[in-house]
Chain A
Amino acid sequence: MIRKIIEMSHVAGEGHIPSALSVLDILWVLYDKVLDITPANIHKTERDHFILSKGHASLALYVILAEKGFIGSSALKDFAKKKSILGGHPDRTKVAAVEASTGSLGHGFPMAVGQAMAMKIRALPHRVFVIIGDGECNEGTVWESVKLAAHHQLSNLRCIVDNNHSSDRALKLGELGMKFESFGWHVILVDGHDQEKIRKALCTKNNGRPIAIIAETIKGKGVKKMENNPEWHHKSPTAEEFADIMNQLK
């Protein structure tokens, strides 16, 4: 899937590769082992729900949606093209499996809070998962959402922080887990590239509180020249770079 992500970005000249790679393991575990979301139930509300609040990591979401049969694999070839259903940021009006059109940071999390409230009002047993980034945690709406979810005891809500440390160059966030905990969340710290540990964390049972999973990740994980290299944040590989990366990934 890493190769596919690189290829899509190379062909389109678009995409945030390192952000997609930092979250790829988490997304894979979600769709492969955790979420009760299938192409068959996608149009129903009585199922789990997932929002990728850090919408710029869309490349990772798209390859997984294709792998799991939510979209045709041919759609990947058209990524970010004029008539594509797959944009640089996900668009819910074009893809049924995209729950929310995200891109501007700090929107998806409070929308997930609204979804969790809706499930609670209807007394449905399903869960709402949302992935935010550590850079996104600078947005005030993230902490508004943390407060809202704790106040309304949304134990059906799971917030995963893809802590790839992209915020470090701007504002240091300190101990994210302690911050969530101080608002009343149940917090789990996990290696965001250890799929079994991610699975266990995501499957933690309800304990009356919303659950935050702080996942330590590496931005650009899997491609050496991109790992923790801000130059690649929103850069697509040239033909030469593409060939070089593909060689490395063999």
Chain B
Amino acid sequence: MRKQFVRTVEEVLSNDKKSVLLLGDIGVFGFRNSLLKYPDRVYNIGILEQSTISLAAGLAMHDFVPIVHTIAPFIVERALEQIKDDFGYQKLGGNFVSVGSSYDYAALGCTHHCPGDVGILKNVPEIEIVVPGHPEEFDRLFKQSYDNGRPTYFRLSENSNGESLKVKFGKANIVKRGKKATIIAVGPMLENVLRACRDLDVTILYYTTLNPFDSDTLKNNASSGTVIVCEPYYSGALDYDITEALAGRNTKIFHIGIKREFIRQFGKKEEIDELLGLTSENMENRIKKLIKS
């Protein structure tokens, strides 16, 4: 997905003279050509994330479209107030593209983990949140929304689904219809959900835009009364949206995601998946168990 990010932004930089890329000393090699080609619109700003976000807001005041890129915790957690005040409160448009989703940098420890990003940003009104599950989906979603005048967070993941879907910004995809439960699969969780549910009579809804949340698609496809949310970050970030969408209905909500605990082990992402019960086999067993219960 990172390579696609470079390709997509290179294209945007070429076509849109209002676009400005600000790197937090991350992705500098990937964007080496752009740094040379557009010295006035592509900057390796350095490791000062808070000021980078404010600086981006200053650019946005002059009708530029800033694209800020660094590792997730340094955007979302370190510079949260800048995102809230300088973009959200001020109604300015800009893009924040993170790498290192959840524990993609498993071996680097908790300082470089960020499973809280979606839940944290859900508490900033008017911030759009996009979690693509495939490089092509990033390309589509970014091009559909990057210059819409609103602040948008794009969460790049190291792992991707095998195939891309024709995703549309702000809309969920109905992947499969069934009777026993509605599974909400977010971004790169779809691959495992599809495998786990291949023989199950369930509805699968695929969400890549989490804010604004597509309430209608859920409302119209949740008649079973059971919703299982499979999300690649701390569980529960969508609960407010789900309960609002299904208000007045007798619905059970279950979560398959990341527990709110520090991951105090190192290793590879796949090893942490196993530790947290997020392998496809584990997910299949858990989904089947939940449907039976």
Q: Is B48 positioned at the interface, with any CB of A under 8 Å from its CB?
A: yes
Question: Using Cβ atoms and an 8 Å threshold, which residues of chain A touch B51?
Answer: 110, 113, 141, 144-145, 148
Q: Which residues, 55 to 95 on B, are CB-close (under 8 Å) to A?
A: 55-64, 81-82, 85-86, 89-91
Nearest A-chain residue to B54, judged by Cβ: A110
Question: Using Cβ atoms and an 8 Å threshold, which residues of chain B touch A99?
Answer: 61
- Per the bound structure, the CA–CA distance linking A99 and B54 in Å amounts to 13
The answer to whether A92 and B48 have CB atoms under 8 Å apart is no
Given contacts A92-B90, A93-B90, A107-B82, whether A115 and B54 have CB atoms under 8 Å apart is no
Q: Is B40 positioned at the interface, with any CB of A under 8 Å from its CB?
A: yes
The answer to whether A45 and B63 have CB atoms under 8 Å apart is yes
Option from B20, B45, B64, B86 in Cβ contact (under 8 Å) with A111 = B86
Instruction: State which size class the interface on A falls in.
Output: 20 to 34
- Per the bound structure, the CA–CA distance linking A128 and B82 in Å amounts to 20
Q: Is A119 positioned at the interface, with any CB of B under 8 Å from its CB?
A: yes
The answer to whether A148 and B55 have CB atoms under 8 Å apart is yes
Q: Is B50 positioned at the interface, with any CB of A under 8 Å from its CB?
A: yes
Q: Is A112 positioned at the interface, with any CB of B under 8 Å from its CB?
A: yes
Q: Is A122 positioned at the interface, with any CB of B under 8 Å from its CB?
A: yes
- Per the bound structure, the CA–CA distance linking A144 and B50 in Å amounts to 9
The answer to whether B59 and A118 have CB atoms under 8 Å apart is yes
Question: Using Cβ atoms and an 8 Å threshold, which residues of chain B touch A148?
Answer: 45-46, 48, 51, 55
Question: Using Cβ atoms and an 8 Å threshold, which residues of chain A touch B85?
Answer: 101, 103-104, 107
Q: Is A212 positioned at the interface, with any CB of B under 8 Å from its CB?
A: no
Nearest A-chain residue to B60, judged by Cβ: A114
Chain A window 77-110, contacts with chain B (Cβ cutoff 8 Å), 1 for yes, 0 for no: 0000000000000001100000111011011011
Question: Using Cβ atoms and an 8 Å threshold, which residues of chain B touch A110?
Answer: 50-52, 54-55, 58
Q: Is A121 positioned at the interface, with any CB of B under 8 Å from its CB?
A: yes
Nearest B-chain residue to A115, judged by Cβ: B58
